[in-house]
């Protein structure tokens, strides 16, 4: 038993003697030299430097809020036509109609096919489409959309409003088909 204790002690001492050079070895510092640190700090300062962006021109279009975005389709078309006239002042000049004259011309294109009463309320028929009193609908005239309001339907007449102008027109029954 003595031999095993002695051999263990001998192995322990040999291991300690072998580890001494590693324990006494010089350890390098993880901190860089001042010259290397100065170069890194200068590069970091150059990267972190804030450059003021150039000022954008006032005429730049904003894609998130275009001008006249809140206009209705009819108003937008009128604004586009006005811009086209302004861009080409020597081009053909169109006469600006008053709201009443414009309503007369637009209503000439409106051809209802009849009326129907549902629940005691009148509806104006345009083919398979029904428009109730107080409803808005769009009529295209000369490549421009106009928002009209049906204000009244009474018997054989209907009344339409465009802006502040109103006009009453008779409902013409569809012509019967001619027999040969």
In this structure, of 54-58, 73-77, 101-105, 173-177, the range with the lowest mean pLDDT score is 173-177
Please check the confidence at residue 47 and state whether its pLDDT lies above 70.
yes
Q: Residue 125: inside a domain, yes or no?
A: yes
Contact status, residue 135 vs residue 151, Cβ threshold 8 Å: no
Q: Residue 45: inside a domain, yes or no?
A: no
Structural domain for 114, as ranges: 99-170
Average pLDDT over residues 146-155: 87
Of 77, 87, 86, 45, the residue nearest 143 (C-alpha): 77
Q: Residue 39: inside a domain, yes or no?
A: no
Q: Residue 88: inside a domain, yes or no?
A: no
Task: Name residues whose C-beta falls within 8 Å of residue 32's C-beta, 6 or more positions apart in sequence.
Answer: 40
Q: Residue 87: inside a domain, yes or no?
A: no
Task: Pick 56 or 66 by higher pLDDT.
Answer: 56
- How high is the pLDDT of residue 4? 80
Report the domain count for the chain.
1
Q: Residue 83: inside a domain, yes or no?
A: no
Q: Residue 118: inside a domain, yes or no?
A: yes
pLDDT of 75-123, one tens digit each?
777 777 777 777 766 655 566 778 888 888 888 888 888 888 888 888 8
Q: Residue 37: inside a domain, yes or no?
A: no
Q: What are phi and psi of 144, to 5 degrees?
A: -130, 140
């Amino acid at each position: 038993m003595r031999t095993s204790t002695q051999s263990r002690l001998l192995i322990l001492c040999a291991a300690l003697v072998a580890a001494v050079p590693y324990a006494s070895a010089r350890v390098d510092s993880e901190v860089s030299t001042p010259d290397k640190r100065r170069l890194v700090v200068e590069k970091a300062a150059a990267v972190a430097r804030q450059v003021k962006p150039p000022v954008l021109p006032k005429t730049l279009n904003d894609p998130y809020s275009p001008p006249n975005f809140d206009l209705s389709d009819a108003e937008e078309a009128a604004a586009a036509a006005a811009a086209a006239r302004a861009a080409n002042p020597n081009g053909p000049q169109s006469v600006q109609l008053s709201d009443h004259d414009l309503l007369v011309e637009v209503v000439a294109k409106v051809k209802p096919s009849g009326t129907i009463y549902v629940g005691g309320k009148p509806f104006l028929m345009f083919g398979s489409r029904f428009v109730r009193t107080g409803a808005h609908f769009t009529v295209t005239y000369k490549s421009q959309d106009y928002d009209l309001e049906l204000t009244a339907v009474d018997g054989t007449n209907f009344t339409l409003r465009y802006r502040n102008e109103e006009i009453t027109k008779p409902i013409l029954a569809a012509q019967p088909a001619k027999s040969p």
